């Protein structure tokens, strides 16, 4: 049976909708992956944009098919249809997207990403409407999108961190740091002790970014609780502590099997080469070997895979869920994309190069932390390294906005003045 042209076109448009949603989910993970560079992210984002463009060209048919995909109630599908809705300026379409997109925290991520995806000159009017809404969920979406663009919403930000809604307050506290609103630090200091638990991380993180030492004990407490923000709390606390104090805390955490992983991650964030011998010793422990290798690389700049310092997957070791029906572990292997370090080879490499490092000084992928080096890491590093460089750069220049390493890759390249080679 021969299909007519309209059927073929509809199938092509449907494929664009499915691919846009799937690729968004892929890039949502990629922005935090250890093996993705800015070039890799930009390439992936260009694929997302190409599929969105196919939906734009399809006009009403693209909207209709994207809208049908919402039955899955996934953030990727919400992202695709939200881009079309906000770009169209059609109030009815926007309202339809917002009703579903604000119904759960997870779905709201797709809406936020969509407003963050489109150019700010097009997003600005939508952000203003969202932040003027009576709904705290919509105000949170508007504030998060404004922060992605690193555009200060002014009084609306102050109003948000005083709001009764804890999710909106938490997002506002984080935005104060991301936007570099250091003038608000003094008022946040008074809020930190009284804030409820879900807001304390965001408040303490921003205060620590601005150099408020009183936030460090709160971050340490959050880190040891082992909840969703524990690793980020560990990294920020270590970055703002004196190297000797940071080393002592890392050593204390390392004594507990519950906190050993955070201790290793903290060592990488701290950047003190004094921790290198300890990190190398941990590379012989299967459960922690790969993250120890990543922290070693974060300090020294050694690329374990590229420099042929990689070992084999340990015989009998299983990470993440297994095929056994009796296995209750369902979490994926969080270190899946990290190479297996070979301790003997890495020890030899360290012996050859350790004279280039000074104990008690902080390093980021092989060099002392300076504004110039952080800028270079933003251009050439991998995503986790780039995220570290962005924070270090904000610490070095208090009051400047935090570079957004999760923004669309093509936009980041423009901001960093990276020329794209013609392929």
pLDDT tens digits, 223-237? 999 778 999 999 999
Give the long-range contacts of residues 116-125, CB within 8 A, separation 24 or more: 116/144, 116/145, 116/148, 116/149, 116/407, 116/408, 117/79, 117/83, 117/408, 118/83, 118/86, 118/87, 120/149, 120/151, 122/86, 122/87, 123/86, 123/149, 124/151
Report yes or no: 163 and 136 within 8 Å, Cβ to Cβ.
yes
**Which pLDDT score, from 0 to 100, does residue 261 have?**
97
Band of pLDDT at residue 322, cut at 50, 70 and 90: very low
Residue 82 reports pLDDT greater than 60? yes
Pair 361, 272: CB distance under 8 Å:
yes
Strands of 7-67, DSSP E:
none
Mean pLDDT (whole number) for 189-215: 92
CA distances 358 to 159, 245, 352, 364, Å, are 46, 17, 14, 13
Which position has the token pair 């949603």? 21
Residue 290 in this model has a pLDDT that exceeds 90: yes
For residue 348, the cross-strand partners are none
Average pLDDT over residues 388-405: 97
The span from the CA of 290 to the CA of 159, in Å, is 44
- pLDDT tens column, 19-55: 999 999 999 999 999 999 999 999 999 999 999 999 9
Q: Tell me, what's the pLDDT at 6?
A: 67
The reported pTM is 0.94
Task: Find all residues with CB under 8 Å of 234, minimum gap 6, and list them.
Answer: 219, 223, 253, 262, 263, 265, 266, 269
Residue 384: what pLDDT? 98
DSSP string, 395-406: HHSTTSPPP-TT
pLDDT value at position 317? 84
Q: Is the pLDDT of residue 158 over 70?
A: yes
pLDDT of res. 198: 77
Percent of the chain with pLDDT over 70: 94
CA–CA dist 75, 87 (Å, integer): 18
Q: 109 vs 196, which has greater pLDDT? A: 109
Task: Give the whole-angstrom CA distance, residue 94 versus residue 131.
Answer: 15
Contact 49, 410 (CB under 8 A): yes
What is the per-residue pLDDT for 8?
A: 63
Phi, psi of 192 (to 5 degrees): -55, -50
| d(C-alpha 346, C-alpha 296), whole Å | 9
Res 332: pLDDT: 72
Residue with tokens 């690389």: 297
């Amino acid at each position: 049976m021969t299909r007519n042209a309209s059927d073929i076109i509809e199938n092509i448009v449907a494929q664009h909708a499915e691919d846009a949603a799937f690729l968004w989910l892929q890039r949502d993970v990629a922005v935090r992956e250890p093996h993705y560079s800015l070039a890799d992210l930009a390439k992936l984002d260009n694929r997302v944009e190409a599929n969105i463009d196919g939906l734009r060209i399809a006009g009403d048919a693209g909207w209709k098919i994207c809208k049908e995909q919402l039955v899955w109630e996934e953030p990727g599908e919400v992202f695709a249809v939200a881009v079309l809705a906000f770009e169209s300026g059609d109030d009815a379409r926007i309202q339809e997207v917002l009703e579903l997109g604000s119904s759960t925290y997870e779905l709201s991520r797709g809406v936020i990403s969509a407003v963050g995806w489109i150019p700010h000159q097009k997003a600005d009017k939508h952000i203003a409407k969202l932040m003027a809404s009576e709904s705290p969920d919509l105000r949170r979406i508007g504030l998060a999108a404004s922060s992605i663009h690193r555009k200060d919403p002014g009084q609306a930000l102050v109003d948000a961190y005083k709001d009764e809604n804890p999710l909106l307050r938490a997002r506002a506290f984080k935005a104060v740091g991301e936007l570099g609103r250091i003038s608000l630090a003094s008022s946040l200091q008074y809020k930190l002790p009284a804030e409820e638990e879900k807001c304390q991380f965001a408040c303490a993180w921003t205060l620590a970014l601005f150099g408020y030492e009183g936030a460090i004990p709160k971050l340490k407490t959050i880190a040891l609780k082992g909840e969703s923000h524990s690793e980020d709390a560990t990294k920020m606390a270590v970055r703002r502590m004196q190297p000797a104090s940071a080393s002592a805390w890392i050593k204390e955490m390392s004594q507990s099997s519950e906190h050993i992983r955070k201790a290793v991650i903290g060592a990488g964030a701290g950047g003190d080469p004094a921790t290198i011998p300890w990190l190398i010793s941990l590379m012989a422990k299967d459960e922690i070997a790969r993250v120890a290798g990543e922290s070693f690389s974060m300090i020294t700049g050694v690329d374990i895979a590229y420099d042929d310092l990689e070992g084999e997957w340990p015989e009998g070791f299983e990470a993440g869920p297994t095929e056994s029906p009796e296995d209750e572990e369902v979490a994926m292997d969080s270190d899946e994309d990290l190479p297996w370090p070979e301790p003997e080879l890495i020890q030899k490499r360290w012996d050859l190069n350790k004279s280039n490092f000074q104990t008690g000084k902080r390093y980021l992928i092989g060099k002392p932390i300076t504004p110039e080096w952080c800028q270079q890491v933003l251009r050439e590093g991998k995503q986790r390294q780039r995220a570290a460089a962005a924070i270090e750069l904000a610490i070095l220049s208090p009051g400047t906005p935090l570079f957004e390493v999760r923004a669309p890759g093509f936009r980041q390249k423009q901001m960093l003045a990276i020329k794209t080679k013609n392929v």
